[in-house]
Structure 1
Amino acid sequence: MTSKIAQFTIDSTYLVLGENGDSTPIPVSDRFFADLENKFGDFKGKRLVSHFTFTEDWDTWEMHPAGEEFVCLLWGQVDLILEQDGAENRICLSTPGAYVLIPRGIWHTVKVDRPSSMLFITPGQGTQNQARRQ
């Protein structure tokens, strides 16, 4: 017997991809990240598929030691800023569908040039954040 297939929207339900090929939809709420930790622990071997809309620059830098992060512009325009070899490398994303694979362990942030919508596939284990340096 086949199970019923449900429809979701990336705005209200993110997706956790498991290392064994399983996928788990997770409803977005104000407790989303706490719910992730409760359900998946340290997130080892998992990736989060998420969607965010931005109208302002990020106020933090982030870094993912467990793998590359896929960052795709759906609409708008942003500058993705990567800290590499002691310098900032800016990559302008202005074409819908343009994406970048941010290497493992690279600090990055976003400057919003126009309100934007972005899709992320993030290896969440060990993710680090720090205040954005102005």
Structure 2
Amino acid sequence: MLLRYLGDSPVIRKLLLGHRHPVVGQRLDGGGLDPYLVDAGDIGRPSLESHRPGYFSIAAATSGAATWSAPGCSEKNLQSPARARAHDARMTRNDSHAFHLSDTYVQLLDGGAAKLIPVDAEFWAKIGEREELHAGRMVGLFHMDESPDHREAHPLGDEVLILLSGSVDVVLEDERGERLIELRDQGTCIVPRGVWHRQIVRASSLMIFITPGDGTQHRAC
């Protein structure tokens, strides 16, 4: 069908058979040829229609100015592999903003901002004196090899505990007594506002906490 429109000449046949990719026939000035996708390997087959994402302009090919194109894409958006790699190289840069949540906590402020908070050995001992950390919620990660020697409560908001690895039991103490929540296999729990709680470490564990920044209370176990 395609050769009937273009003419079954050795040049046309060589041009089509020489391309391993789909080609498209476009309406010629003489009219009669509707746009459709064809593959060079389909020449001589009953049907040449084959809707494919990329196509080659036969009209341009026969004029010696062949260009690749695709539906919905302009010619200027099509790049050779070498040009694409050069573009990627220009766009790629080292990002120095990555941090580890175990030594840099994140303070989620009430207005929606997130602030990085460096953590050192004296962080927890002095957190009560740092009023700037009392707003919003604190997000951090800690490693536990043994059970903490204290329990705590957060009267100004709920706390979220997310176990990344290991095994931890969270003991909640309320007016009905103690309630045990077993965290296993990346389990998560919510500690209600004002409820005293403690952790029993069953295996070396990594845990993320999301805790109200103000009002935390501690007691010895």
Q: Secondary structure at the match of 2:130?
A: helix
What's the counterpart of residue 79 of structure 1? 169
Please tell me the residue identity of whatever aligns with 1:16. Answer: Q
The Cα of 1:39 is off from its aligned counterpart by 5.9
Q: Is residue 119 from structure 1 mapped to residue 208 from structure 2 by the alignment?
A: yes
Are 1:101 and 2:193 an aligned pair? no
Name the counterpart of 1:26. Answer: 117
Q: Pick from 98, 123, 132: which aligns with 1:40?
A: 132
What CA deviation, in whole Å up to 9, does each residue of 1:75-99 have, x standing for no partner?
Answer: 0001100002241101110112x11
- Choose from 88, 113, 116 the match for 2:178: 88
Percent of matched pairs sharing the same residue: 37
Kindly provide the CA deviation profile for residues 9-56 of structure 1, in whole angstroms up to 9, marking residues without a partner as x.
Answer: 112211111000011101111232436843606x14x10001111111
Instruction: Choose which of 108, 115, 131 in structure 2 pairs with 1:17.
Output: 108
Q: Deviations over 1:83-123 (max 9, x none)?
A: 02241101110112x11111000000000111111000000
Q: Within 2, Cα distance between the matches of 1:38 and 1:65?
A: 18
The one-letter code sitting in structure 2 at the alignment partner of 1:121 is: I
Listed as ranges, the gaps of 5+ residues in structure 1 are: none
Rg larger in structure: 2
Q: Which has the higher helix share?
A: 2
Number of matched residues?
126
TM-score normalised by length of structure 2:
0.54
CA distance in 1, matches of 2:206, 2:105: 15
Q: TM-score, normalised by structure 1?
A: 0.86
The RMSD of aligned alpha carbons is 1.8
- Indicate the structure whose relative CO is greater, using CA pairs within 8 Å and at least 6 residues apart: 1
